[in-house]
Amino acid sequence: MNVLLIGPPGSGKGTQGKRLADLLSLEHLATGDLLRAEVDAGTELGRKAEEIMADGELVPDSVIIDLVMPKVRAANNRNGYLLDGFPRSVDQAVEARRLAEEYDATPDAVIYLDVPRDELKRRILARAESEGRIDDNEETVTNRLRVFDEATAPLVDYYRDRGLLHTVDAARTEDEVTESILAVLPKT
Ligand code: ADP
């Protein structure tokens, strides 16, 4: 099974992505983690991405697509993927679909983690204290939420129109959210 997880920063994509990937034996592909690994390793890609991420902007589509699509293809040849953080815009979704259709790796379900704005801010600033991610400061968070509204939120309609979307109330406990997601995923 192939699953996409979309949601604003702080909606719990990372937490739920990891849980679901473990429970369903899927490959957890978190684009933020993949990019941070490139930054830490000091690769050319990482050097290009670092400043963009620190500002809360999106790295260029071609960069993220070249990074993630080979992994999508490989995971599809195994038990499937749990994609967390990609696609993040309709342009990325269109290009990802074109490529995924070539190797029969399109998603089976899209989960939208829905959380009210004040709860998102609270969670991210709490995470800033415990994890120290450099993009978890107040200014960048405001920008990441704006980027989400402008670039990523239109994906909700895009996937609803394709009959793939399941909206989950993610302002509940981690266990409750996981249960709700498992309940809406197609049975395989
Ligand atoms: P969050 O969803 O909490 O903002 P992520 O770890 O998913 O955190 O992403 C961190 C940053 O990595 C984003 O702000 C963006 O700069 C970059 N990034 C992640 N995924 C993508 C993507 N699909 N396209 C472009 N940039 C991305």
Over residues 74-89, the pLDDT tens digits come to 999 999 999 999 999 9
**How is residue 131 written in tokens?**
């994890």
Q: Whose CA is nearest to atom 1 of ligand 1?
A: 9
Q: Whose CA is nearest to atom 16 of ligand 1?
A: 53
pLDDT for the residue numbered 131: 86
7-17 residue pLDDT tens? 999 999 999 99
Query: Whole-angstrom Cα distance, residue 146 to residue 57?
Result: 10
- Across 8-27, average pLDDT: 97
Q: Residue 11 Cα, ligand 1 centroid: separation in angstroms?
A: 13
- Domains identified in the chain and CATH numbers: 3-181 (3.40.50.300)
Q: How far is the CA of 106 from the centre of ligand 1 (A)?
A: 21
| Type of residue found at 26 | L
Tell me which residue has tokens 């592909």: 29
Pocket of ligand 1 (CB under 6 A): 9, 31-32, 35, 52-53, 56-59, 64, 85-86, 88, 92, 135, 144
Q: How far is the CA of 14 from the centre of ligand 1 (A)?
A: 11
Nearest CA to ligand 1 atom 7: 32
Whole-number pLDDT of residue 50? 96
For residue range 35-70, list pLDDT tens digits in order. 999 999 999 999 999 999 999 999 999 999 999 999
pLDDT at position 187 is 85
Bigger pLDDT: 125 vs 91: 91
Rounded average pLDDT over 107-124: 96
- Helix/strand/coil for 111: strand
**For residue 159, how many other CB atoms are within 10 A of its CB?**
22
What does the pLDDT average to over 83-96? 98
In this prediction, residue 134 carries a pLDDT of: 85
Question: What integer best gives the mean pLDDT of the chain?
Answer: 96
Instruction: Give the residue whose CA is nearest to atom 26 of ligand 1.
Output: 58
d(CA 187, CA 183): 9
